[in-house]
Chain A
């Protein structure tokens, strides 16, 4: 197991190097010009030349790649074209906000999604099952930005329960927490629905399997049958979905962040892509890439924990 873990961790730098190269190529192939984006229309030829030099864009592509790579190997991701701040500082400024939002959304969507899925599976083909599954289809189908605006309209504007923007002017924890409620609800619902559907489907299969029949025949209490024997075995596909959700929540919260005016990695990425801010885009994609690799590893390790038959690094 430790060998497997080590080999997977050793793959990380290679993955990131590949990612760095791919992003470098894609960014340079993208239409638009970072200098034009920075200066706006009507910049003089002289100013354009100055700025190209300042950003290092007057060098050959190979030289730009070599400089970028050297910086990357020295853990220096450069400075943002737009703000001149270090890329690491830019990312660290918004990372906690995304981590809190995504973390809470993941917790809510996983716990409630699994609970809803288990209940639906236990009441399969009955009203509760149809209700939960219909609701999950609705939630999956609702556009995230529309849902976010409706939540603001009802719970912030009409009922005055939560702030509109999600970024509280006050600094104490209580208003901050209030500001998180609607974004978390808005972001969780889609993922909650996905987890619920996957849990329901997986649980329904497991509950009809022979070993569950055997456990029940042995007189085990129903709670033990469901929670220990059925749920643990039904978790493998659910864990995969939760793993995917984690990555998506981390990088894809852009709509929620935009509507609720919350800072975050997703919004920063979109802004930096629109501005052709090469160093910042590279930095964020590398961070997200690292995160995906770690999450995939965690999911693989979780498989081994949930199903003892899965052994990594052992000969077949």
Chain B
């Protein structure tokens, strides 16, 4: 009996050793394995809204213009060989390269494809979540097979960036959509791109395989391909990275960052902070109508300490709305009005505004990390100056509904992913009274609407930059939004991965996934 049991254990151990060995001796092509929290939301560019999905989209599809790897935010021609912009900034004429081929035998890329892409994205029947991005477009004409002319209804300084690979800027094949219809993007053969990689296999929500497209007209990627694995838990992804099962993932928790810092096989690439994480929008028509109250709310916060303790290494102190290093026109803390931690001054401002004994209000937050960590800290600081903020933590869906329905709140911790580097899209989304319903409060604040109209219609980039500066200063003076800290995005990468100019240049922007250039990556020793 004992002998049989021992034999069984021996066989089991031998089996395990063989299984381990089989796993380790397999070597193959250079495939980069990237972990992603979820699967990709859609492989149809017009239906994609998640900016991380856009990173992978841009590896499969091309657009008229694209960002130069490592030279953010400089643009270069991609499908377009050249383009002209009319002096009144209303007519954009693009001349396409000749002979570029769609993947999977769908023929040559022509101006008709560009027109189809934009028409489709603008058609309400498509239901594209990014349709309104194209509101300024008046008409699209195709004078010949390789020329497309877009006429705008009004100047849009961010228009060229919208045509770069970010959400709907990606060009799709008209023939492929005519062939697959509603099934476009539902199976690998129904994803037809023009970029350096093509989709070869995927199981929705789990795993996606991309392989080099050898007929690509541009520079060939160094990798043979890449794969995306959906790993929902960050702890699992971190262990998988340490073991070498994956090559790269995007860190979201400061605890993970601390753990991976100790691993010699892992490199950490810290991007400039792009996402406003601890930004509080205040209702300028409600309890926070008086600017002195809003200033008191910011003086009451020790923003430096909050950034250091709550945000940790993932955070950088924010002085204004646009993140320096991400937006060309962003102003630094040295130029913007300052609000030092000063509870006495906060109390004094509240007294002057008619609240000597403080007041009660409510802070609405998304019931997820890091907001649930940030909110009690803010609450504690405000309580010290007499402002009793009740925390209302709502689930993601409720929160989004509240914002989109325009339900007015008194104060809200607000976050929005960064947009194109030009700044107009972000400023408009964040501040223009016409952009979002009062759900995020900022629609109630109208004092920079005029400046924004002026900036968007500016004739020169220098004039526009000057106006963006004025907007930022005005916003920090008026404080419809209290800036505390931006979140820095961090990529955890295996040592054997060479990130190319994306990292070696001065502008690593992993927080802005759409602009990470997988085609410049390489992998050693696989």
Tell me the A residues contacting B by CB distance below 8 Å: 31-33, 35-48, 50-51, 53-54, 79, 82-86, 89-90, 93-94, 97, 149, 152-153, 156-157, 160-161, 163-165, 167-170, 174-175, 177-178, 258-261, 263, 267-268, 271, 274-276
Could you tell me if A32 and B401 are in contact, using CB atoms closer than 8 angstroms? yes
Question: Which residues in window 380-408 of B have CB below 8 A to A?
Answer: 395-401, 403-405
Could you tell me if B239 and A42 are in contact, using CB atoms closer than 8 angstroms? no
Chain A residues in 8 Å Cβ range of B439: 41
Could you tell me if B416 and A167 are in contact, using CB atoms closer than 8 angstroms? no
Could you tell me if B397 and A274 are in contact, using CB atoms closer than 8 angstroms? yes
Least CB separation from A82: chain B residue:
B41
Q: Bound complex: CA of A97 vs CA of B16, how far in Å?
A: 22
Chain A residues in 8 Å Cβ range of B245: 163-165, 169
Q: Bound complex: CA of A169 vs CA of B247, how far in Å?
A: 12
Could you tell me if B127 and A39 are in contact, using CB atoms closer than 8 angstroms? no
Least CB separation from A35: chain B residue:
B404
Q: Bound complex: CA of A149 vs CA of B403, how far in Å?
A: 37
Could you tell me if B23 and A175 are in contact, using CB atoms closer than 8 angstroms? yes
Chain B, interface size category, equals: 35 or more
Could you tell me if B22 and A174 are in contact, using CB atoms closer than 8 angstroms? yes
Stretch at the interface among B96-104, B227-235, B301-309, B475-483: B227-235
Chain B residues in 8 Å Cβ range of A83: 41-42, 204-205
For the residues of A in contact with B, the DSSP-based class is helix
A-B contact pairs, 18 of them (CB 8 A): A31-B395, A33-B400, A37-B397, A42-B436, A46-B131, A50-B124, A50-B131, A51-B129, A83-B204, A84-B44, A93-B205, A93-B206, A161-B20, A163-B240, A165-B246, A170-B23, A261-B230, A261-B236
What are the 6 tightest A-B residue pairs by CB atom distance, in nearest-first order? A32-B397, A54-B127, A36-B400, A261-B231, A263-B206, A33-B401
Of the candidates A48, A86, A263, the one whose C-beta lies within 8 Å of that of B205 is A263
Is B38 part of the binding interface, using a Cβ–Cβ cutoff of 8 Å?
A: yes
Least CB separation from A175: chain B residue:
B23
Binary contact track B423-434/A, C-beta < 8 Å → 1, others 0: 000000100000
Chain A residues in 8 Å Cβ range of B436: 41-42, 44
Could you tell me if A156 and B127 are in contact, using CB atoms closer than 8 angstroms? no
Chain B residues in 8 Å Cβ range of A86: 186
Chain B residues in 8 Å Cβ range of A161: 16, 19-20
Chain A residues in 8 Å Cβ range of B124: 46, 50, 53
Could you tell me if A38 and B232 are in contact, using CB atoms closer than 8 angstroms? no
Q: Bound complex: CA of A84 vs CA of B127, how far in Å?
A: 11
Is B437 part of the binding interface, using a Cβ–Cβ cutoff of 8 Å?
A: yes
Q: Bound complex: CA of A32 vs CA of B396, how far in Å?
A: 8
Of the candidates A33, A84, A169, the one whose C-beta lies within 8 Å of that of B186 is A84
Of the candidates A41, A89, A156, A275, the one whose C-beta lies within 8 Å of that of B403 is A41
Least CB distance from B225 to A in Å reads: 11
Could you tell me if B23 and A167 are in contact, using CB atoms closer than 8 angstroms? no
Is B26 part of the binding interface, using a Cβ–Cβ cutoff of 8 Å?
A: yes
Could you tell me if B400 and A40 are in contact, using CB atoms closer than 8 angstroms? yes
Question: Apart from A50-B124, A156-B239, A263-B206, what 13 extra A-B contacts exist at CB < 8 Å?
Answer: A31-B398, A32-B400, A41-B404, A41-B439, A42-B404, A42-B416, A46-B132, A48-B404, A79-B182, A149-B235, A152-B236, A169-B229, A275-B397
Chain A residues in 8 Å Cβ range of B440: 41-42
Chain B residues in 8 Å Cβ range of A175: 19, 22-23, 26
Least CB distance from A187 to B in Å reads: 15
Contact of A157 with B243 at beta-carbon distance under 8 Å, contacts A39-B404, A85-B186 already known: yes
Chain B residues in 8 Å Cβ range of A44: 132, 435-436
Least CB separation from A85: chain B residue:
B186
Is B504 part of the binding interface, using a Cβ–Cβ cutoff of 8 Å?
A: no
Could you tell me if A41 and B26 are in contact, using CB atoms closer than 8 angstroms? no
Is B47 part of the binding interface, using a Cβ–Cβ cutoff of 8 Å?
A: yes
Least CB separation from B230: chain A residue:
A261
Least CB distance from B129 to A in Å reads: 5
Least CB distance from A85 to B in Å reads: 5
Could you tell me if B404 and A36 are in contact, using CB atoms closer than 8 angstroms? yes
